[in-house]
Structure 1
Amino acid sequence: MAKSRLQIIPLGGLGEVGKNMTVFRYGDEIIVIDAGMAFPDETMPGVDIVIPDFSYLIENRDKIKAILITHGHEDHIGSLAYLLRDVSAPVYATRLTCGLIEGKLKEQKIGKYNLNVVKTGDEFRRGSFRFGFFHVCHSIPDSCGVYVRTPVGTVVHTGDFKFDHSPVDGEQTDMHKLAELGRNGVLVLCADSTNAQNPGYTLSEAVVSKSLRDAFHEVRGRIILATFASNVSRVQMAIDAAVENKRKVCVFGRSMVNVVGIALEMGYLKAPEGTFIEPEELSHYRDDRICILTTGSQGEPMAGLSRMADGSHRQVQIHAGDTVIISASPIPGNETSVGRTIDNLMRLGAKVITSRTSRVHVSGHGSQEDLKTMLSLVRPKFFVPVHGEYRMLRSHAELAESLGVPKQNILIGDNGTVFEFTNRSGKINGKVQSGAVFVDGLGVGDVGNIVIRDRQQLAQDGVFIVVIALEKGSSQVAAGPDIVSRGFVYVRDSEELMSGARSRIEHVLERCNTGNVTEWNAIKTQIRDALGRYFFEKTKRRPMILPIIQEVR
């Protein structure tokens, strides 16, 4: 790569919401911004989380000078522990973000790491890169954008942001720093596109604070509030509302317990002594003196709220008089699971308050007027919309063009796209390997598209297993065929279908015997094809068919 060119390569976060990761490369030097994860959708059965494909970084691991993290949400830190298994590079982040990262690294048993706490205003040099952090408003304290000074010009990466003039923590997005960067000249702006289709400004977090206080004041029974564990600002609002109304707070959900513990210890959450109680103490208090904080705002099957809703939670049973507040909006793809959770809660007699019925949630991402403000302050020569699905990127590009950024200077790409810049030009110059890596239990990347396709087939049409014993060296049947069906049909109730299946298996074996076909793979293929045609003709279903052949001497 020519040393006079800067490459910006998103490995996650383009054409999707989640698993944000962007690579900056100049010559033989690389820095990485964010290392996030995404939640699986309903087409990924059994998958726990989705992380970016790190192949490009692993191939270039010796070139990586630093990893910069903008804030502590899972879609920005959730894959860092997996990356640090293969890459050794210093990590730079603000204090709370470092605390959350350290908790995840210990959980994943990452023994060696170099974590550096930064403050806004500090500037660092790693190789040809000089970088610093500036404060932005988001739904977690210590959120930052990043500026990177390179030999060809300055790049601003906003991270997740909005302009909130009455933030809960009192810290506004640093417009002065953004204006200063703009005055001194910005080559490229990479900006959050999540709400690029939403007109106006995003509402202030103060709106949510008031709505939660009102709800806590009015409700007479138990309050169960579900939100993202990493939404520390929202958790603080819930604690404040509970304290005002003399409610004790009990925390459920592993990630919620972890984050609340870290944030309390570091001083980012504040509560009077005696505010929190243990689960076994719930029975000591009247319902109108209890607030339960839990995970599960996205309907995740094993999260606290989901288990309360389906009756499988060991310590909390939902009953009439409970009020459940879901202080989050469904991530695209999670609408069905969230709706199912709400239905289950209401069947159990709970009242459910969501962002559709009350202002118990506002986005942490800027809407169109926020995005226009960012563009106007930074005044970039080139613009790359990031962090969003394609329609969001396109809407953001149109906003930039309406503010005077030349159309030819607005570049839209996908994960893996190589955006290449000199101090005068910008273009797309090819792609690198990118994509999604599935994490299932302890396995990372061992579940690929073929495994997912098999799981989808099993979930949709089940499996049909045929066990046959053949005499050695021939296709003469010694025993069987024995049939096992799971998730396809119940064998005892489908005798006619099973009889037809056996007939077709026997016909295939006779044909193989006559034709002197003794190679097992050929016999299996013929059985699979014959049964596949038969089952589709009779049931319009395509179960996974697994012939198993045993040899008898």
Structure 2
Amino acid sequence: MSNINIIPFGGVRENGKNMYAVEVDNQIFILDCGLKYPENELLGIDVVIPDWDYLRENADRIVGVFLTHGHADAIGALPYFVDEFKVPVFGSEMTIALAKLSVNANSESKKYDDFHIVDADTEIDFDDVTVSFFKTTHSIPESMGVVLATKSGNIVYTGDFKFDQTAAKGYQTDLARLAEIGSQGVLALLSDSAGAENAGQSEKEKNIAAYILETFKYTDQRIIVASVASNIMRVQQIFNAAAAVERKVVLSGHDLEKIVKTALALGKLTLPDEDLLISMSDAKKMDPSQVVILETGKMGEPIKSLQRMANGEDKNIKLNESDLVFITTTPSHAMETEVQKTRDMIYRSGAEVKAISDDLQSSGHASQNDLQLMLNFMKPEYFIPVQGEYRLLNRHAQLAQEVGVPKDHTFITAKGDIVAFDGEQMRIGDKVDVGDTMIDGIGVGDIGNIVLRDRRVLAEDGIFVVVVTIDRRKKKIVAHPKITSRGFVFVKTNRELMNQSAKLVEETVQDNLDNKEFDWGHLKQDVRDKLNRFLFEQTKRHPVILPVIMEVNQHARKSNKKKKVSKDSKEKDSNE
């Protein structure tokens, strides 16, 4: 029997950032390496990736990264991972092509080139563990699940999946293979929970394609289609519909262009008309009724781009009354408020809005029936729902119990929980410290809770800067306090508050100068504390208070009966 530990580094109790480590004896297998887009409270943060301090301590045990598909929630953190861990990466042809795009776009990881293409017939032996794969249906071609065959049974990770009997070639699930895996004996199943609240059946993709075509047929104005760049299936449906009604397509967004070019080169995406794609400059010369603009935005996410268009901030596309904005992506529950806000902004610009989710239950994730079908195929001894917020994991656990998985054999995990199998029984045991690593520009992990707290305070209450110049030797204030405020109060209408604040600072500084045990740190903190109390009493706000204390040494000396003043200035402190 093998000793097995399953550790989620992300993807549980959250949307996105899928990454799971499976330890089998002395080897560590990484399943997916994704990112998530930040919530609103993470001010200024671009993306969030898993924290892998534990993996750094055990880097020599990692045998590879096994990717299920090419979406950001599965491959987005890969550039940062392979920059640090020089291990091989395995995935389907399409997945590896998109992974290479992501890795090459990062200056720190672009030299990495240990990629390996696998398919559903591939088996890789790692001592006592054999890794194999199975085809699944998702919104991107060549999605796969991963099987780790151990002495104790199979560990199965589904990745994102759904069942669609009408799926096109390249998107089809291999049902026979699922039955084969289940018959071999599944010790533990890690299964996609994103659609666990979806009681109905997800719409078949052929019906979605017909819906898109119908929309194009009965629209005589310019159409701006919002989609996720890596949703290759949706992009193909848009291309087909545009060609059918003799429209041309403009690709708006650098990420989209790269992904489409890659998919076309691999034959995973086809152009029904060789002249289908045109440039934005060519589109402006054409009648708007002949144009479709496919918009995905930065990092493939269309919502922020739509907001910029609605506000007139996009340099290429201005929304007007003759436009139809067609949203073909289905937002997660966490994004619903943002999507409704975006729709309102579009309506205010005069354009019309239509969304697939208004009429069809479109999703790339399994519904409740699909989830239970997967459980019945696998017949796992133990079950670990993954890929979703807590309510989704909990609902998936309930669905598992309905098909016979015992409650005490189902584990709703948090990041860092160790689900351990000792050869006889599986249970949640110890926990490793796993947090989030935030990416802000080129900074990786240099933004912590203190910085985020300060950003939040700045956003809510603003900043209050006070500059004072002192002569410590003479124990006097050389220049009276100067106060600058941004985002706190309007200075011109709050002169009295500024004057009282300056007087308070002057008194506080003089008290510290008169103290025999003068200390720069105490002076700054004293100014902060007293100003903070005073400003809160007056305004009920807590701005960031930044004291800047300048020291000037004045030495008087006589020369030709005239006084000359020599100043030796230096700034003692301006920032924390």
TM-score class, shorter-chain normalisation, is: over 0.9
Measured after TM superposition, the shift of residue 201 of structure 1 is 2.6
Alpha-carbon distance in structure 1 between the residues aligned to 2:207 and 2:302 = 30
Structure 1 segment 457-472 matched on structure 2, within 5 A? 457-472=457-472
Contact 1:474 1:517 in 2 (8 A): no
Alpha-carbon distance in structure 2 between the residues aligned to 1:297 and 1:225 = 15
Contact 1:328 1:355 in 2 (8 A): yes
Alpha-carbon distance in structure 1 between the residues aligned to 2:474 and 2:385 = 64
Contact 1:42 1:333 in 2 (8 A): no
Contact 1:130 1:150 in 2 (8 A): yes
Q: Decide which moves more: 395-404 or 300-309.
A: 300-309
Larger of the two Rg values belongs to structure: 2
Alpha-carbon distance in structure 1 between the residues aligned to 2:321 and 2:249 = 20
Deviations 1:511-536 (A, max 9, x none): 32343352111111111111111111
Contact 2:141 2:170 in 1 (8 A): no
| Aligned equivalent of 1:99 | 97
| Aligned equivalent of 2:340 | 339
| Aligned equivalent of 1:20 | 18
Alpha-carbon distance in structure 2 between the residues aligned to 1:204 and 1:58 = 43
| Aligned equivalent of 1:68 | 66
Q: Decide which moves more: 64-73 or 169-178.
A: 169-178
Counterpart amino acid of residue 249 in structure 1: V
Measured after TM superposition, the shift of residue 132 of structure 1 is 1.0
Measured after TM superposition, the shift of residue 303 of structure 1 is 5.0
Alpha-carbon distance in structure 1 between the residues aligned to 2:11 and 2:473 = 56
C-alpha change, 1:538 and 1:49, in structure 2 (3 Å) is same
Alpha-carbon distance in structure 1 between the residues aligned to 2:305 and 2:269 = 21
Alpha-carbon distance in structure 1 between the residues aligned to 2:500 and 2:516 = 24
| Aligned equivalent of 1:138 | 138
Measured after TM superposition, the shift of residue 301 of structure 1 is 9.1
Contact 1:298 1:337 in 2 (8 A): no
| Aligned equivalent of 2:115 | 115
Counterpart amino acid of residue 36 in structure 1: G
Alpha-carbon distance in structure 2 between the residues aligned to 1:442 and 1:297 = 16
| Aligned equivalent of 1:42 | 40
Structure 1 segment 421-440 matched on structure 2, within 5 A? 421-440=421-440
Measured after TM superposition, the shift of residue 178 of structure 1 is 1.1
C-alpha change, 1:465 and 1:333, in structure 2 (3 Å) is farther
RMSD: 1.8
Measured after TM superposition, the shift of residue 173 of structure 1 is 1.8
Alpha-carbon distance in structure 2 between the residues aligned to 1:473 and 1:417 = 59
Alpha-carbon distance in structure 2 between the residues aligned to 1:299 and 1:124 = 33
Alpha-carbon distance in structure 1 between the residues aligned to 2:332 and 2:325 = 19
Q: Matched residues, percent identical?
A: 39
Contact 2:229 2:301 in 1 (8 A): no
| Aligned equivalent of 1:80 | 78
Q: TM-score, normalised to structure 2's length?
A: 0.92
Alpha-carbon distance in structure 1 between the residues aligned to 2:137 and 2:458 = 45
Kindly tell me the number of residue pairs found equivalent between the two proteins. 550
Alpha-carbon distance in structure 2 between the residues aligned to 1:412 and 1:269 = 38
Deviations 1:403-438 (A, max 9, x none): 111121111210111111144310111111211111
Measured after TM superposition, the shift of residue 170 of structure 1 is 6.5
| Aligned equivalent of 2:566 | none
Contact 1:202 1:367 in 2 (8 A): yes
| Aligned equivalent of 2:574 | none
Counterpart amino acid of residue 202 in structure 2: T
C-alpha change, 1:473 and 1:385, in structure 2 (3 Å) is farther
| Aligned equivalent of 1:6 | 4
Q: 1:85 is paired with a residue of what secondary structure?
A: helix
Contact 2:145 2:157 in 1 (8 A): yes
| Aligned equivalent of 1:452 | 452
Deviations 1:425-472 (A, max 9, x none): 101111112111110111100111111111011011000011111213
Counterpart amino acid of residue 470 in structure 1: I
Alpha-carbon distance in structure 1 between the residues aligned to 2:303 and 2:235 = 20
| Aligned equivalent of 2:495 | 495
Alpha-carbon distance in structure 2 between the residues aligned to 1:44 and 1:474 = 47
Measured after TM superposition, the shift of residue 473 of structure 1 is 4.5
Alpha-carbon distance in structure 2 between the residues aligned to 1:170 and 1:34 = 20
Alpha-carbon distance in structure 1 between the residues aligned to 2:15 and 2:143 = 18
| Aligned equivalent of 2:275 | 274
Structure 1 segment 227-306 matched on structure 2, within 5 A? 227-271=227-271, 272-296=273-297, 303-306=304-307
Contact 2:9 2:19 in 1 (8 A): yes
Q: Decide which moves more: 224-233 or 348-357.
A: 348-357
Contact 2:298 2:305 in 1 (8 A): no
Q: Decide which moves more: 263-272 or 294-303.
A: 294-303
C-alpha change, 1:284 and 1:513, in structure 2 (3 Å) is closer
List gaps (5 residues or longer) in structure 1.
none
Measured after TM superposition, the shift of residue 337 of structure 1 is 3.3
Measured after TM superposition, the shift of residue 181 of structure 1 is 1.1
Alpha-carbon distance in structure 2 between the residues aligned to 1:119 and 1:170 = 11
Contact 2:156 2:189 in 1 (8 A): yes
| Aligned equivalent of 1:225 | 225
Deviations 1:8-46 (A, max 9, x none): 111010110100000011222111010000001110111
Structure 1 segment 155-166 matched on structure 2, within 5 A? 155-166=155-166
Counterpart amino acid of residue 434 in structure 1: V
| Aligned equivalent of 2:536 | 536
C-alpha change, 1:168 and 1:215, in structure 2 (3 Å) is farther
List gaps (5 residues or longer) in structure 2.
554-576
| Aligned equivalent of 1:194 | 194
| Aligned equivalent of 1:545 | 545
| Aligned equivalent of 2:321 | 320
Alpha-carbon distance in structure 1 between the residues aligned to 2:527 and 2:189 = 59
C-alpha change, 1:408 and 1:473, in structure 2 (3 Å) is farther
Contact 2:48 2:436 in 1 (8 A): yes
C-alpha change, 1:516 and 1:281, in structure 2 (3 Å) is same
Counterpart amino acid of residue 227 in structure 1: S
Alpha-carbon distance in structure 1 between the residues aligned to 2:436 and 2:181 = 34
Alpha-carbon distance in structure 1 between the residues aligned to 2:316 and 2:59 = 46
Alpha-carbon distance in structure 1 between the residues aligned to 2:324 and 2:315 = 19
Alpha-carbon distance in structure 1 between the residues aligned to 2:98 and 2:425 = 39
C-alpha change, 1:171 and 1:506, in structure 2 (3 Å) is closer
Counterpart amino acid of residue 295 in structure 1: T
Counterpart amino acid of residue 113 in structure 1: D
Q: 1:119 is paired with a residue of what secondary structure?
A: coil
C-alpha change, 1:296 and 1:326, in structure 2 (3 Å) is farther
Measured after TM superposition, the shift of residue 297 of structure 1 is 10
Counterpart amino acid of residue 79 in structure 1: A
Q: TM-score, normalised to structure 1's length?
A: 0.96
Q: 2:21 is paired with a residue of what secondary structure?
A: strand
Deviations 1:301-343 (A, max 9, x none): 9954332222122222211111011111233443343333322
Q: 1:380 is paired with a residue of what secondary structure?
A: coil
Alpha-carbon distance in structure 1 between the residues aligned to 2:328 and 2:475 = 64
Alpha-carbon distance in structure 2 between the residues aligned to 1:154 and 1:232 = 31
Counterpart amino acid of residue 13 in structure 1: G
